[in-house]
Structure 1
Amino acid sequence: MIYDKLVAQTAQAPVTSGLRQGEVFTPYAALVERIGRVAAGFLDRGIEIGDPVALLVPNSPDLFVTAHALFAIGAVAMPVSETATRAELATLARKTGPEAVVSAPGLAAAAETLIADAAPGIPLFLTSALPERSGTARLPELPGGTPALYLFSSGSTGSPKVVPHTHAELVADSERASTAWEIQPDDIVLDMLPGNFAMGFLLGATQAVAGGATTLYWSDPMPLALSREKLLDTMVRERVTFMGAVPAMYEIVAGRTGARALGLRLAFSGGAALKRSTFEAVRERLGVTLRQDYGSTEAIMFSHNDSADPDSSWASVGRPAGDAAVRIMPFDTEFGPAVGEMEIQSSSLMRGYLGDAPANVRAFDEGWFRTGDLASLDEEGRIVLRGRSKLLIEVSGYKVDPVEVEETLMGSPAVAEAAVAGLPDPRLGHRLIAFVVREAEVSADELIRWAGERLSVQKAPAEIVFVDALPRSPTGKVLRARLCEFQAG
C-alpha cells in the first residue's frame, strides 16, 4: 500500500524532486526503481510479510530506500537509535524478534552484537551491499491493516514499548501532515532529526514526498553548537523552505549574533515545549515565525498551529489536523477545571502496543488515547499544553521515563534505592538528577558511568545525589515532588 502510494506520488512529482544528501541528488523515479530491486532482493533472501527488520541506519537516502523496500514486501521496518547501548538493543530485539538487521557499514559492529545477544543466526545486510535483483518481482497486495513500522516509546512504565503502525496509518499521517503544512513540489524540506525519532523518520520517508517535495538530509559529526554555521550555509545554498526540529535544536541554531537571510516559508517545532525566548530568537535571526505542532510516537502528526495571529497564539500547538480529534478529560490540577488530561483520536493512531495488554488497558479510554499531557482548549479550539500527567521527563526533545533510569541504577549492587527527577534546564528542557540510597561504597562518577554504559545519552543522569532515604508516603510511595528538596537543601 505504501509502495503503491509512493509510485503514484513519484508519477506526479517533477523530475527535480527527490532526495539530497551532501552533493548527491537522486530523483524519486530512480529511487522507486532501486526500491523495487531491493524489495525483490529481500524476497530472494527469505524476508517475508510480517518479518520485523532492525535498521541501524542514520537518517538518509539509504534509510528511505531500505524502509520502502521493506514496506513493498509487507515486512516491518524498525529504525533503531545509533546511540543505543548494547543492553538497549538486546531489549528491543527480544521484544520484537527481528528476522534480519540492516546496518550502515560504520554501525556493523553494533549490529553484529545485537544479533549475537538476542537473535543468533539472522542475516545482516549492509547498506553498501543491499540485495538487489535485476529483474522484477511480484509484490504482494497489502491491506491497510498490514504492520509497516515499529517505533519505540517509553510510555508510562519502566521499559520501552513497541509502537506498531500500519500501512493505512502511515498513509493517513503523510496526507494529514503534507496537507497541514501545504507541502509543494518546489519545497526543499530539511530533515536533521535522527531516523529512529518518529518525527525524523516520517518527515524524510513519507511526509515530504506526499507533497512531491525534495528532502535534504543533513548531519555532521560535530555537535550542532559547533556545526550550526555549516548548517546555516547549507540552508542558504540549498534554498531550504521548510524544516521541522525540536526546540533545543532551534535554540542552538538561532543562538548566535546577527540574522541570517534564509528562505524559510515554514518552520515547525515539536517534541517538547517551546520557550518564548526561542520563539523570538528564531523570528529575529532566522526570519521565520516558528509554529508549534503536536505529535507522539503513538499518534504521529496530530496538530499544527496555523493561526493567522501566530504571535498571540505562539504557545499553542494548534487545532487537530485532518480527521484528528481531541477531548479534555477532568483531571485534578493546580490550573483549575479548564485544564485536564488530553485524549486524542485519529486515523494514524496506533491500535495498541505490541504484546503489552496491561499497557493498552491503561493507554486507551473507550477508543481515545490517553496522551498523559495536561491541556486546555482556547476559544478557537486550539490546544494549549500545560504539563504532564505522567512521569515522563523531556530531555532534548526525548521523553525519558524515570522508572527505566531508576531500574538501571538499581541494577548496580552498590545501589539500594534510586529515584529520578528532572530539573529545568535552559538548554535541554530538563536534566536528570538521580537520588540514590547506597548499598555499598560507590562514587557519583562510577554510577554515572554505570548508567551511561546501559542507557542512551539522553537517559543517563547528569548528576547523582546521595541520600539516606527517599521521601515516601505512609503507604510507601515515593514522593517525587519532594525529591528536589534534597537538591535545594
Structure 2
Amino acid sequence: MTVDISTLFTQAAYKWLDAEALRETASGRSLTFAGLERALDDVGQAFDTLGIARGERVGLLADAGIDYLLADYGSMANGRVRVPLDGSLAQAELLAQLRDAEAALLLFSPEHETTAQALREAGVRCEPLARIGEFSAPPGQRRPLPAADDLASLSYTGGTTGKPKAVMHSHRTLTAVLQNIVLARGALPGDVLVNVRPLWPIAAVAVFGHLLSGGSVVLAGRFEAKVFIELLQRQRAAFTSLVPTQLLRLLRENPESPAQLPTLKCLDVGAAAMSPEVLDGACQLFGERLGVLYGMTEAPWSCYLPPVQMSQVRQRGESAEGLVGRPVFSANMRIDQPDAQGIGEILLGGPQLMLGYWCQEELSASVLSDGWLRSGDLGVMADDGLFRVLGRTKDIIRSGGKSVQPGEVEQCLLGHAQVADAYVFGMPDEEWGERVCAAVVPIGELATEHLLEHCRAQLSRFKVPKQIHLIDELPRSHYGKVQRKRLLELLVPSDKLQASG
C-alpha cells in the first residue's frame, strides 16, 4: 500500500508533536507539527461547509505564507486537488487555467483582491484565503484518507499562449517525489529551511519534504538581495534555495566572500543554468555548500548534485557548468539516441513521473512512453555517472545543414569582458534554414565588431552569430529562464541590429 499525503502529515505530527513546523517572519505566527495537523483538519471542515466535494479542484492565488500552505496541503490532505497559480499572470491567462481545471473554488490573498473580483465577475467562485481559518473540525474527527492513485495536484506549466497545460500528480507520485527529497537532501530534525521563493507550482512540495525530515520551515517573504545573508544568519538557516537570477543579484550585493554562515549546510539551486562566473562566485560566497537539483514539474527532484560532489568536481579542476549530478533514490535517467559525443535527449523514469497532462491525451502520449518521460533537454552522462545538461533539444539551431548548440555560443559571448548576459537563438532564414542570432547585454560601450571578432577566434564560422542585438536586459522569468516571446517582442523592430556579414 502506498502512503497518501494525509497520512504523511499525521505521521510527522506523531514524531515531532511540539516541535516548530512553520514560522512566518512577517507576522511572527508559527505552528507546531501538532498544530499543523489540527489546522489541516480545520481546512477539511471548511471545504465541507463551503460545499467543495472531494476530488474537486481548488485554485490558489496567494503569496508564500502559512495560510497558503494550509490551503495547499489542506486541499491534498482532505481529498481535494490543489491548483497553484502564478500571480504574475494576466487575468485572462488565470481565467483560462481556472476554466480548464473546472475549479470549484479560488482561494486568494489580499494582494490579489482586484484580480479575484474580476475573476468573480467572469463566473469563478472566489473566497478570501482567510475564510478557511473560520472553521473548526469537531474534536476527534478523522480525515477520510485519499486513495494512492487519487489526483492530488494540477500544476500549470509551459508558455502563456495556446491551450493551458496542467501537470497531473497523484498521491502516489507525490509520495515518491517526497521520498526522493528526504533522502537526497539529508536534513535532520530541527534543521531550519529559510524559504524566499514563491510556493507554486512545486516549491510547496519541496518545503513539505523538509517537514518530513522533522525540519522547521521559515517563510521569510520575498527575496531581497540586500538582506538575504543577514536573514540566513538571524534564522540560523541550515538549508535554503534560490534560482539563478536571485543568486546573481545576491552576488552583486555581496562582493566580499565568504559569508559567515556557521549553521548553513546547503543552498540548492535549480531551474536554469548558471554561468561559470555565477557558479564560481556562489561557491566563494557560500564556501562550497552549493547543491544543484534537476527535474521539472512533470518529474520533480529527479537528479541531485550535493555540495560534497560539487566540491570534488571543482577540486579536480573540472568544469561544473551544466552539471546536475546523479539520479536520486527512486529516479532513473538515461540519454536517448546519443551521438558520437554521447549527447542526446535526457529521458527521466521512476515513480515520481506525472500521470500526464490534464485532458490532453495526445500531448501526454508524445512525452510519456514505456515508463519514460522525454525531458526536452540535451545532456550527456560522464563515465562516473554524473549527468550534464547542455540545453534544450528544441533550441538546437539548424543552419546550413549543421547543428548549433546555443549554449556553446552563449558561453563564448559571456567570455568577452564586456558582456554581462547573453542569449542565443535561431530565426528563420531563406538561405540557411535558420540563422544564429544573439541578444547581448553589454557592459559599457561595446563595439559589435569586436564581439564578432571574439566569436570568430573561438567558434567555427557557421556558429558565429549572423545577427547581434544589444539590449539593456534579458527578460527572464522568476526561475531565471529567458522568456523568448517577450524577447522577440523587444527585438522586432530593433534599431540596434548588427550583421556579421
Same fold by TM (over 0.5)? yes
Q: Determine the C-alpha separation between the residues in 2 that align with 1:72 and 1:105.
A: 24
Q: Is the 8 Å Cα contact of residues 60 and 107 (structure 2) preserved in structure 1?
A: yes
Q: Does 1:258 align with 2:261?
A: no
Any idea what SS the aligned residue of 2:364 has? Answer: helix
Corresponding position of 2:418: none
Give the Å deviation of 1:33.
0.8
Q: Determine the C-alpha separation between the residues in 1 that align with 2:438 and 2:376.
A: 17
Change (3 A) 1:247 1:121: closer
Q: Determine the C-alpha separation between the residues in 2 that align with 1:420 and 1:208.
A: 43
Match of 1:321 among 305, 315, 328: 328
Corresponding position of 1:15: 18
Corresponding position of 1:272: 272
Q: Determine the C-alpha separation between the residues in 2 that align with 1:276 and 1:195.
A: 28
Q: Is the 8 Å Cα contact of residues 265 and 288 (structure 1) preserved in structure 2?
A: no
Q: Is the 8 Å Cα contact of residues 100 and 164 (structure 2) preserved in structure 1?
A: no
Which amino acid is 1:132 matched to?
A: F
In structure 2, runs of 5+ residues without a counterpart are 397-405, 408-422, 426-434, 444-466, 468-476
Q: Does 1:135 align with 2:138?
A: yes
Give the Å deviation of 1:43.
1.1
Q: Determine the C-alpha separation between the residues in 2 that align with 1:281 and 1:110.
A: 40
* Superimposed CA distance per residue, residues 301-356 of structure 1 (whole angstroms, 9 cap, x where no aligned partner): 11111354142463320110011111111166xxx440000111121110110111
Which amino acid is 2:330 matched to?
A: D
Greater shift, 291-300 or 385-394, is seen at 385-394
Q: Does 1:73 align with 2:99?
A: no
Give the Å deviation of 1:156.
12
Match of 1:207 among 206, 209, 234: 209
Q: Determine the C-alpha separation between the residues in 2 that align with 1:271 and 1:213.
A: 23
Which amino acid is 1:253 matched to?
A: L
In structure 1, runs of 5+ residues without a counterpart are 395-399, 403-418, 428-434, 436-451, 469-483
Any idea what SS the aligned residue of 1:347 has? Answer: coil
Any idea what SS the aligned residue of 1:229 has? Answer: coil
Change (3 A) 1:422 1:83: farther
Greater shift, 263-272 or 358-367, is seen at 358-367
Corresponding position of 2:366: 362
Corresponding position of 1:291: 291
Q: Is the 8 Å Cα contact of residues 194 and 235 (structure 2) preserved in structure 1?
A: no
Change (3 A) 1:467 1:18: closer
Which amino acid is 1:326 matched to?
A: M
1:405-484 equivalences in 2 (<5 Å): 423=439, 461-462=486-487, 464-466=490-492
Q: Does 1:112 align with 2:117?
A: yes
1:47-446 equivalences in 2 (<5 Å): 47-117=52-122, 120=123, 122-127=125-130, 130-136=133-139, 137-154=141-158, 158-198=162-202, 200-204=203-207, 206-220=208-222, 224=223, 227-255=224-252, 256-259=254-257, 260-262=259-261, 263-306=263-306, 308=309, 309-311=312-314, 312=316, 314-315=320-321, 316-330=323-337, 336-391=340-395, 423=439
Q: Is the 8 Å Cα contact of residues 68 and 129 (structure 2) preserved in structure 1?
A: no
Give the Å deviation of 1:281.
1.2
Give the Å deviation of 1:465.
3.4
Corresponding position of 2:458: none
Q: Is the 8 Å Cα contact of residues 73 and 139 (structure 1) preserved in structure 2?
A: yes
* Superimposed CA distance per residue, residues 197-226 of structure 1 (whole angstroms, 9 cap, x where no aligned partner): 42x22222x211111101111224xxx5xx
Which amino acid is 2:234 matched to?
A: R
Which amino acid is 1:329 matched to?
A: D
Q: Determine the C-alpha separation between the residues in 2 that align with 1:324 and 1:345.
A: 6
Q: Is the 8 Å Cα contact of residues 153 and 168 (structure 2) preserved in structure 1?
A: yes
Give the Å deviation of 1:422.
7.3
Give the Å deviation of 1:105.
1.7
Which amino acid is 2:240 matched to?
A: M
Which amino acid is 1:232 matched to?
A: I
Greater shift, 32-41 or 156-165, is seen at 156-165
TM-score in terms of structure 1 length = 0.77
Greater shift, 10-19 or 73-82, is seen at 10-19
Any idea what SS the aligned residue of 1:175 has? Answer: helix
Q: Is the 8 Å Cα contact of residues 76 and 148 (structure 1) preserved in structure 2?
A: yes
Q: Is the 8 Å Cα contact of residues 65 and 221 (structure 2) preserved in structure 1?
A: no
May I ask how many residue pairs the two structures share in their alignment? Answer: 418
Which amino acid is 1:246 matched to?
A: V
Structure scoring higher RCO (CA < 8 A, sep ≥ 6) equals 1
Q: Is the 8 Å Cα contact of residues 188 and 240 (structure 1) preserved in structure 2?
A: yes
Tell me the percent identity: 22
Change (3 A) 1:485 1:366: farther
Give the Å deviation of 1:240.
0.6
Change (3 A) 1:288 1:215: farther
Change (3 A) 1:129 1:142: closer
Give the Å deviation of 1:134.
4.3
Q: Determine the C-alpha separation between the residues in 2 that align with 1:19 and 1:140.
A: 24
Give the Å deviation of 1:63.
1.4
Q: Determine the C-alpha separation between the residues in 2 that align with 1:65 and 1:16.
A: 17
Give the Å deviation of 1:425.
5.8
Q: Does 1:30 align with 2:35?
A: yes
Q: Is the 8 Å Cα contact of residues 180 and 301 (structure 2) preserved in structure 1?
A: yes
Cα RMSD of the aligned pairs, angstroms, is 3.4
Which amino acid is 1:215 matched to?
A: V
Which amino acid is 1:133 matched to?
A: S
Q: Determine the C-alpha separation between the residues in 1 that align with 2:20 and 2:143.
A: 25
Any idea what SS the aligned residue of 2:324 has? Answer: coil
Q: Determine the C-alpha separation between the residues in 2 that align with 1:180 and 1:164.
A: 23
Give the Å deviation of 1:146.
0.8
Any idea what SS the aligned residue of 2:394 has? Answer: coil
Q: Determine the C-alpha separation between the residues in 2 that align with 1:361 and 1:90.
A: 26
Corresponding position of 1:471: none
Give the Å deviation of 1:297.
0.6
Q: Determine the C-alpha separation between the residues in 2 that align with 1:464 and 1:385.
A: 28
Q: Is the 8 Å Cα contact of residues 38 and 131 (structure 1) preserved in structure 2?
A: no
Q: Determine the C-alpha separation between the residues in 2 that align with 1:123 and 1:239.
A: 38
Any idea what SS the aligned residue of 2:83 has? Answer: strand
Greater shift, 141-150 or 285-294, is seen at 285-294
